[in-house]
Amino acid sequence: MSKVSKLVSGLISQNPVMVFSKSYCPYCTRAKNELTKKKIAFKAIELDNTKDGGDIQAYLQQLTTQRTVPNIFANGHHIGGCDDTLDKLASGMFQKLLAGKKGPFVVAETPEQSTSAKEESGTESEHTDTSAATPVAKPVGKGKAAAESKPAKLPAAQPQAKSTANVFPPAA
């Protein structure tokens, strides 16, 4: 696993909501503002202010087929960009993902990987608002099979063909 893939995997697995962003991007600002408005804590990495920002963005494209920012994950599930995030916030799906199981982009890591991810991440910020608890919906499943489904492992970083398919995991 490369340094960048370890870093990205660590950030996604350590943070219930992970936002890969650029400081000047209006879509990134809008998505972060909406998360803040909904009192959803998140960690943001500003790729334009990070030493390995270009490499991180290239790895995210291999991982998700999305090149643009913001690139947002909730509980290990790839949400997508600004519009995807706003849609899932409005529908309540974002909150359900936070209450549910870890997604396919979360991998097990050793304590040393966890520490190195924090040290190598460069410019990052945590956004929390503890003034009011965020109501979180319980996961909605389709029977026993949905409750027993296991998340997939993080795929190896390999170039992928462009796809218009949603990277969101299929319902069990």
Examine residue 100 and state whether it is found in any structural domain, yes or no: yes
**Cα 61 from Cα 150, distance rounded (Å):** 24
Query: How much is the pLDDT for 170?
Result: 44
Examine residue 29 and state whether it is found in any structural domain, yes or no: yes
Query: How much is the pLDDT for 125?
Result: 62
First to last CA, the chain: 29
Examine residue 163 and state whether it is found in any structural domain, yes or no: no
Query: How much is the pLDDT for 106?
Result: 65
Place of tokens 């608002």: 129
Examine residue 158 and state whether it is found in any structural domain, yes or no: no
CATH number, domain of 24, equals 3.40.30.10
Q: What is the pLDDT of residues 61-101, one digit of tens each?
A: 999 999 999 999 999 999 999 999 999 999 999 999 999 87
Examine residue 36 and state whether it is found in any structural domain, yes or no: yes
Tell me the residue range of the domain where 139 lies.
3-148
Query: How much is the pLDDT for 57?
Result: 97
Which SS3 state, helix, strand or coil, does residue 21 take? strand
Domain count across the chain: 1
Examine residue 74 and state whether it is found in any structural domain, yes or no: yes
Which strand ranges, in their side-by-side order, compose the sheet holding 42-46?
A: 77-80, 71-74, 17-21, 42-46, 124-127
Query: How much is the pLDDT for 142?
Result: 38
Query: How much is the pLDDT for 152?
Result: 41
Query: How much is the pLDDT for 105?
Result: 73
Query: How much is the pLDDT for 123?
Result: 54
Examine residue 30 and state whether it is found in any structural domain, yes or no: yes
Examine residue 53 and state whether it is found in any structural domain, yes or no: yes
User: If you average pLDDT over every residue of the chain, what do you get?
Assistant: 75
- Residues of the chain scoring pLDDT < 50: 108-121, 129-172
CB-based contacts of 84, cutoff 8 Å, min separation 6: 72
